Amino acid sequence: MKKNIWKNPAVQALVASLICIVLGLLIGYIVLLFINPSGAGEAIVSVVKNFLNYSKTNLRLKNLGNTLVKTAPLLMCSLSVLFAYKVGLFNIGAAGQFVVGSCACLISSLGWGWSWLPCLLFTVLVGAVYGAIVGLLKSYCNVNEVISGIMLNWIGLYTTNMILNTVKEPTSPYTLHMASEAPQALLPSLGMAKLFSGNKYVTIAVPLAIILAVVIMVLLDKTKLGYELKATGNNKNAAKYAGMAEKRNIILTLAIAGALAALGGAFLYQTDYEQWSVTQSSVPGMGFNGIAAAFLGGLHPVGAIFSSYFIQHITNGGAYVDLTKYSSQISDLISSIIIYLCGFVLFIKYAMNKSIAKREEKQAQQGKLASDTEKGGGGK
Amino acid sequence: MAETQYAIEMLNITKKFPGIIANDNITLQLKKGEIHALLGENGAGKSTLMSVLFGLYQPEEGVIKKNGQVVSIKDPNDANDLGIGMVHQHFKLVECFTVLDNIIMGVEPTKHGFLQKKEAREKVLALSEKYGLQVDPDALIEDITVGMQQRTEILKMLYRDNEILIFDEPTAVLTPQEIEELMQIMKNLAAEGKSILFISHKLAEIMAVADRCSVLRKGKYIGTVETKNTTMEELSAMMVGRNVNFHVEKKPSTPGDVVLDVKGMTVASKVHKNNAVKNVSLQVRRGEIVCIAGIDGNGQTEFVYGLTGLEPLVSGSIALCGQDITHASIRKRSTSGMSHIPEDRHKHGLVLDYTLEDNMVLQRYFEPEFTSKAGFLKRGPIREYAEKLIEQYDVRSGQGPVTIARSMSGGNQQKAIVAREIDKDPELLVAVQPTRGLDVGAIEYIHKQLVAQRDAGKAVLLVSLELDEVMDVPDRILVMYEGEIVGELDPKKTTQEELGLYMAGAKRDEVSP
């Protein structure tokens, strides 16, 4: 029997993700048509083109760099989500862990004058502890990780605002510029900036995030720890029966997930690309986008690298929409429609499997008809 | 054309799955008003055939006829509309609803959107009288016996005016006395014109109640026989393809040192305030098989949980080979020489989404043989080890070591667990219902393995609900009733009737451990 390549899970994941992307662009286009038909095509093209909207190579590289700067933290958040998901946990708390990570790196650099490496390590520690709280509540008090995760997102946000109030600029709600106030805490560029025609925001965060994606993949697939964690996620009872410390595993998983998301915060703010606004009253979307990126990437660490880049590509591309034809929120709207559709990967996979099954059934029926006529000759 | 004598016919059904033909040209014809048994080993294709009948699978070939008319069954609703009903092995009842509520669920009589329970109650009471199905319509499911729960399931089918009733392994959970009652009920139903399909492994029951019996083996249809013209030996040979030894061959036991010594074990219950296990003391020696017998739910499960460390003890102590393990972790107990074939292979025994090879090392993956010092799994040795066990214990699967455990048949899943637990070379093997839901061939095989362990000087503690197993396999029987050991019997001297009396709590001795 011929193997059906559509049944290969990797192919399915890829195709499902691509269908989501196309659907997202299509719906985005339709929305633009409703708002202002004259510029819709042009707008969607400029979103997709992102840095290619520039004609000069050095400007293209510089703006590609800007997309990459924000891809690194998104990738960290999506790794955090998918790692927990493999262990059967839904880490919606990644958003809050990203926030406390941002807080940890900003206060340790701007407030205490630490240099970049201690800042990173401190961030990892804080994120791990913050994630572990969810794990402790889950394993010892049976509190659902989604509930406690959402609560901790808000606790994290306001605590961060309060703490970072001490290192903000006197005249604005933003934290101090790291480049001028705490240059020792900036992540080293290691020549990365040169690659992107002097974009000083591109740092080791980008390669580091990719390396961490590979580390997570190896951890899940090749190690004893990954074997235990996935067993716990798949069947808690069997894990317990096999003598695994299933409570410890849940806590450990969320601690690792927390550390990953928190590192995302450091990867963004230790480049000085953005500053934290201490008056913000909603949890930054980075952690939530991480959920979309994780699913769009087929819940695979390598897939997450590409999906994170894509989502950030679209988000940055939104800035190139012609603002004389559309209001300034349109870029966010388009990218959020696409991100929203990205969450449909599992649904598309399901639909694909169903249609394969249907087609096979049809073929079987036809095959049966054919063999029936053949048999007719033999007679029985 | 004369009216057909068949209520339902499944003609030349073929259903394929990747790498396996689950049903290969199977024909099953159920006469009106008969009790028709469907017999087959695990993986013989009984479940697939029933799924086809209920529209869960569409067959590649074959047709289904009702009263001679070809019908198309696309989903379970179609099956319901055709009057086909099933009592599942694991009941589908809402625990916190009353019997009446469960019966009418899904087909509630309403008037202007309000429930009309009075009519429903009258209909249920009439049905229960007509067929001798005693139930208390207002009792909550969680408060009634398993037998009454089963009668509720039967009433559910009758309430929906089903004509074709399917019983999937209905006796597995019943006491001998309840089994008698069920047999009578089935006969009453058939006498009233209902057609019954009775899926079972138990040859004695088939001989007692069925009119005809169809046998499947490895997805193929072997034949249909009239039970009055056949014998149990013939049926089992048809099912397994060879002659099966019903009796477990074993030499007299020669018990040696005490391996397991349990003193005054008390374990709390998860479902009620009383303790599920009350002050149980027992010993298992080298070279003997001790069986804990009893009706399901009398504390056996909790006893095993306490013994293996899945649940903490309220009081008491456990010693394994003289070493106190009362407070030891599950891992410590396992590495100290305790193997455990769990009662529920899906809940505890396997990680269903893991491959067969990963499941084979579930109790040993951390050993240096399979994990490097740096914490990486050694894939090569794991594959070799899995292949060795698969070969040695004849575990069959679609793709060998990389088969996902979920896709394997129940019997082969169980064989994989047995292989894993026995190959650990334990001092004490705790086997809880190791043959539940398995066919005669696999049961024979597992019983042989247990006896082989005994003969190799290991201690075996068997927990079983099956009377045949209890009478045949062990060297000593301890009967558990309401969390206590109420009798110690010698399987060579006792009878099933005596055992039944102990299991039902009608008789008890003062047992000294």
User: Tell me, what amino acid is at A14?
Assistant: L
B334 at A interface, C-beta within 8 A: yes
pLDDT digits (tens, 9 = 90+) for B271-297: 666 788 999 999 999 999 999 998 777
Q: Is B270 on the interface with A (CB under 8 A)?
A: no
Q: Which two tokens stand for residue B192?
A: 């009233």
* Model pLDDT, residue B335: 92
Tens-place pLDDT, residues A40-59: 888 888 888 888 888 888 88
Chain A neighbors of B363, CB-CB under 8 A: 242-243
B11 φ/ψ angles, rounded to the nearest 5 degrees: -110, 125
**A22 has a pLDDT exceeding 60:** yes
Assigned domain for A313 exists: yes
pLDDT at A2: 46
Q: Does the CB of A357 have a partner CB in chain B at under 8 Å?
A: no
C-alpha distance from residue A254 to each of A77, A81, A93, A148, A151 (Å): 13, 10, 9, 12, 15
**Cβ–Cβ < 8 Å for A366, A331:** no
Chain A segment 88-127 residues within 8 A of B by beta carbon are none
Among candidates A235, A241, A244 on the partner chain, residue whose Cβ is nearest the Cβ of B310 = A241
**CB of B367 less than 8 A from some CB of A:** no
Q: Which residue reads 């349990």 in tokens?
A: B262
Q: In this structure, is residue A14 part of a structural domain?
A: no
B258 touches chain A (CB under 8 A): no
Which amino acid, one-letter code, is at A33?
L
Regions in chain B scoring below 50 on pLDDT: 1-2, 512-513
Question: Is residue A90 pLDDT above 90, yes or no?
Answer: yes
| Interface test mutation site (partner B, options A227, A234, A358, A372, max chain B beta carbons within 10 A) | A227
Query: In this complex, do A241 and B354 lie within 8 Å of one another by their Cβ atoms?
Result: no
- Residue A64 has which token pair? 């590609």
Where do we find the tokens 């006792």?
B494
Chain B CA closest to residue A242: B363
Q: Which residues of B318-343 are buried (b: 16+ CB within 10 A; e: fewer)?
A: bbbbeeebbebebeebbbebbbbbbb
Q: Is A42 inside a domain boundary?
A: no
- Measured CA to CA, the distance from residue B294 to residue B330 in angstroms comes to 25
Least CB–CB distance from A238: residue in B16, B334, B351: B351
For B349, the closest of A234, A238, A361 (CB atoms) is A238
- Mean of pLDDT values over A259-284: 93
Contact A80, A94 (CB under 8 A): yes
* Beta carbons of A222 and B376 less than 8 Å apart: yes
A224 contacts B375? CB cut-off 8 A: yes
Residue A257 lies in a domain: yes
Please report residues of B whose CB lies closer than 8 A to that of A244: 331
pLDDT band of residue A269 (cuts 50, 70, 90) is very high
φ, ψ dihedrals at B303, nearest 5°: -60, -45
Whether the CB-CB separation of B41 and B217 falls below 8 Å is answered with yes
**N- to C-terminal Cα separation, chain A:** 28
From the list B340, B352, B377, which residue is nearest A227 (CB)? Answer: B377
Please name every residue paired with B168 in a beta bridge, in sequence order, or none if there are none.
Answer: B199
Strand B484-489 vs strand B476-481: parallel, antiparallel, or unpaired? antiparallel
Report the alpha-carbon distance of residue A201 to residue A211 in Å, rounded: 19
Tell me, yes or no, whether A18 lies in a domain: no
Q: Give the residue from B332, B334, B351 with the most A CB atoms within 10 Å of its CB, the best one to mutate.
A: B351
| A234 → closest Cβ in B353, B371, B377 | B353
Residues from chain A that touch B329, judged by Cβ atoms under 8 A, are 243
Q: Which residues of chain B does A227 touch, with a Cβ-Cβ cutoff of 8 Å?
A: 358, 365, 377
How near does any CA of chain B get to the CA of A221, in Å? 9
Confidence at residue B417, expressed as pLDDT on a 0 to 100 scale = 94
Confidence of residue A378 (pLDDT cuts 50, 70, 90): very low
In a domain, A265, yes or no: yes
Collect all residues of chain B within an 8 Å Cβ-Cβ radius of residue A223.
375-377
Contacting B residues, span 157-216, partner chain A, CB-CB under 8 Å: none
In this prediction, residue A55 carries a pLDDT of 82
Chain A residues touching B376 at Cβ < 8 A: 222-224
Which residue of chain B is at minimal alpha-carbon distance from A243? Answer: B331
Of the pLDDT bands very low, low, confident and very high (cuts 50, 70, 90), residue A372 is low
Which residues in B lie closer than 8 A to residue A238 (C-beta atoms)? 347-351, 362
Q: Is B435 on the interface with A (CB under 8 A)?
A: no
For B66, the token pair is: 């009702």
Q: How far is B277 from A102, CA to CA, in rounded Å?
A: 53
Residue of B nearest to A234 (CA): B351
| Domain coverage including residue A280 | 59-320
Indicate if the pLDDT at residue A368 is higher than 60.
Answer: no
* CA distance linking residue B65 with residue B351, whole number of Å: 40
Q: Which of A241, A244, A361 sits opposite B348 (nearest CB)?
A: A241
B63 touches chain A (CB under 8 A): no
Alpha-carbon distance of B170 to B91, in angstroms, equals 10
Indicate the pLDDT class of residue A228, thresholds 50, 70 and 90.
very high
Mutate to test the interface with B, among A241, A252, A353 (most CBs of B within 10 A): A241
Evaluate if residue A64 carries a pLDDT over 70.
Answer: yes
For residue B248, give Cα distances in angstroms to B207, B479, B500.
Answer: 21, 21, 21
Q: Which pair of tokens denotes residue B377?
A: 């799994």
- Going across the sheet that includes B338-341, the strands are B338-341, B428-432, B459-464, B289-293, B476-481, B484-489
Instruction: Confirm whether A379 is domain-assigned.
Output: no
Do A237 and B347 lie within an 8 Å CB cutoff? yes
pLDDT given for residue B201 in this prediction: 73
- Contact across the interface for A235 and B352, Cβ inside 8 Å: yes
Whether A345 shows a pLDDT value over 50: the answer reads: yes
| Under 8 Å between Cβ of B19 and B399 | yes
Would you give the distance in Å from CA B436 to the centre of its chain? 4
Domain count, chain A: 1
CB nearest to A243's CB, from B16, B61, B334: B334
Of A2-11, A218-227, A369-378, B186-195, which gets the smallest average pLDDT? A369-378
**pLDDT grade, residue A377 (50/70/90)?**
very low
Residue B27 near residue B11, CB atoms below 8 Å: yes
Mean pLDDT (whole number) for A284-297 = 89
B61 shares contact with chain A (CB less than 8 Å): yes
Query: What residues does B66 pair with on adjacent strands?
Result: B8, B69
B375 touches chain A (CB under 8 A): yes
Q: Where are the beta strands (DSSP E) in B348-451?
A: 428-432
| Residue B54: strand, helix, or coil | coil
Average pLDDT over residues A207-215: 95
| Nearest residue in A to B380, CA atom | A222
Q: What is the DSSP string of B215-241?
A: EEETTEEEEEEEGGG--HHHHHHHHHS
As a whole number, the mean pLDDT across chain A is: 86
**Three-state secondary structure call for residue B445:** helix
Phi, then psi, of B489 in degrees rounded to 5: -125, 155
- Total Cβ atoms within 10 A of residue A119: 28
Write the single-letter amino acid at A280: Q
**Cβ contacts of B314 within 8 Å, gap of 6 or more:** B266, B267, B268, B275
Per-residue CA distances from A337 to A32, A282, A303 (Å): 11, 19, 20
What secondary structure does DSSP assign to B264-277, as a single string? EEEEE-SSSSSEEE
Q: Which residues contact residue A210 at a Cβ distance below 8 angstroms, ignoring those fewer than 6 apart?
A: A75, A305
Confidence at A376, pLDDT banded by 50, 70, 90: very low
Q: Closest approach of chain A CAs to the CA of B310, in angstroms?
A: 7
Element at B279 (helix H, strand E):
strand B275-285
Residue A110 CA to residue A164 CA, distance in Å, equals 9
Q: Does A222 contact chain B (CB < 8 Å)?
A: yes
Over its C-alpha atoms, chain A yields an Rg (Å, rounded) of 24
Q: What does the alpha-carbon distance between residue B235 and residue B229 come to, in Å, rounded to a whole number?
A: 11
CA B364, chain centre distance (Å):
27
Q: Residue A83 belongs to a domain with what CATH number?
A: 1.10.3470
Selected for mutation to probe chain A from B339, B362, B430 (highest A CB count within 10 Å) is: B362
In total, the C-beta contacts within 8 angstroms joining chain A to chain B are 68
Instruction: Return d(Cα B303, Cα B224) in angstroms, integer.
Output: 43
Q: Would you call B495 an interface residue with chain A, using a CB distance cutoff of 8 Å?
A: no
Q: Are B481 and B298 in contact (CB under 8 A)?
A: yes
* Cα gap A337→A66, rounded to integer Å: 22
Question: Chain B: residue nearest A4 by CA?
Answer: B18
Cβ atoms of B431 and B461 closer than 8 Å? yes
ipTM: 0.77
Closest Cα in chain A, distance from residue B489 (Å): 31
- A195 inside domain: yes
The per-residue pLDDT for B13 is 92
